[in-house]
Structure 1
Amino acid sequence: MATPHALRPGSPAAPATPKRGAIHPLWVRITHWLNALAAIVMMLSGWRIYDASPIFPAFSFPTAITLGGWLGGALQWHFAAMWLLAVNGLVYLSLNLASGRFVRKFLPLTPRAVLRDFVAALRGKLAHEDLRVYNAVQKFAYLFVIVDLIVLVLSGLAIWKSVQFPLLRELMGGYDNARVVHFSAMSLLAAFLAVHLAMVALVPRSLLAMLRGR
């Protein structure tokens, strides 16, 4: 029987098709949604805390988009979410590193690849056939938000326990600068969430994958 052309020696390989099965394991989905919940609660309650003592007097957040109702209530929400973010974030990072998923998903990454995929995204030519494979822009964005959340937690500790963590406070440039770092990291997190939601709207399959795993 004749060998099919696609399988003959030396013939071009057939186009790769996306693999079947789970895209995100259960532990990734659980930690992802807990991290998202904690980050959003911290951000909304943080805006109410900021309004009580603004860094920039000319700027404040509308009360309607803040959480806590008053300073004491906002602090309670903020600290509760902080512990959830810190513990769940450590679980997420530990499992990613232990399973090798961190290296598989996020590395290698080069500035050239990020620029190439960013330009392709602007032109609407960035493919999303296989949701298991992150493009360079996704890799950069996810690594960026991981670092940003770490900075948020550390700068928050420098503000909350300034006396207990003097080295951390000084690494932030002092108490007042730690507040600026914290505010800046929060602003970058808000920007990431806005872009992330826009990308989910463009590729709704990614939301389904994070909800049901495939």
Structure 2
Amino acid sequence: MSSLTVNDRHTAAATPAKVIQPAWVRTLHWINAVAMVLMIMSGWQIYNASPLFDFTFPKTITLGGWLGGALLWHFAAMWLLMVNGLAYLALGLATGRFRRKLLPITPEGVISDARAALTGKLSHDDLTKYNYVQKLLYAGIIAIGVLVVLSGLAIWKPVQLQYLTALFGGYDVARYVHFICMAAIVAFLVVHVALAVLVPKSLRAMIIGR
């Protein structure tokens, strides 16, 4: 019995760990994370210069120091996010990752997995597969990412991109859309980080891939 156990251990040690997150996913993921944090913090400073609602964000969580500085940070992060995001979308489609990871999404599956998550019965053993709630969240955040970029462009160049601005219902409406999308991204990041803390092996996979 002991020899079998030793052999099993040698076999397990000799078998390479399965790659869960390929290198390109990990690289683009962390670049996106940095760009998004920079955009959110500088975006809050821009918002403070002309608030949409009866509140402003504390200066300790904003970036840029003043409107001009915040705009410089925001535009720099915007180009980084756009280029990196386009690379992520192109590779995700070309490699079939989106199809394998995000499809299918069914209402029944989402309801079932949401109920299991709320009762603490949702399994996280197989990190190679997303549950239906994850599929919905990841597909949704990709769509919101596209929308936040388009609404941002409509705000940035309302004259040059007047047709895009008009699609949002005008400059003022585009600002509200941009803010709501930003709020949705922040909410996603909070949930995302919380789940990474609760399931640390998922964070480990996004760092070393295995």
TM-score when scaled to structure 2? 0.91
- Counterpart among 175, 181, 188 of residue 177 in structure 2: 181
Structure 1 unaligned runs (5+)?
Answer: 1-18
Give the alignment of 1:102-117 within 5 angstroms. 102-117=98-113
- Counterpart among 98, 119, 122 of residue 118 in structure 2: 122
Distance 1:191 1:21 in 2: 31
Give the alignment of 1:60-209 within 5 angstroms. 60-209=56-205
1:34-66 CA deviation, whole Å, 9 max, x = no partner? 11111111000000000001111x211011110
Distance 1:185 1:197 in 2: 18
Q: Quick one: which amino acid aligns to residue 75 of structure 1?
A: L
Give the corresponding residue for 1:54: 51
Distance 2:164 2:129 in 1: 37
Distance 2:182 2:130 in 1: 25
Which aligned runs of 4 or more in structure 1 are off by greater than 2 angstroms?
none
1:169 Cα deviation (Å)?
0.4
1:138-187 CA deviation, whole Å, 9 max, x = no partner? 11111111111111100000000111111110111100000000000001
For 1:164, what is the secondary structure of its paired residue?
coil
For 1:28, what is the secondary structure of its paired residue?
helix
- Whichever structure has more helix as a proportion of its residues is 2
- CA RMSD for the aligned pairs? 1.0
TM-score when scaled to structure 1? 0.89
Percent of aligned positions with the same letter in both sequences? 60
Distance 2:74 2:186 in 1: 16
Aligned residue pairs: how many? Answer: 195
Distance 1:117 1:21 in 2: 25
Q: Quick one: which amino acid aligns to residue 175 of structure 2?
A: R
Structure 2 unaligned runs (5+)?
Answer: 1-15
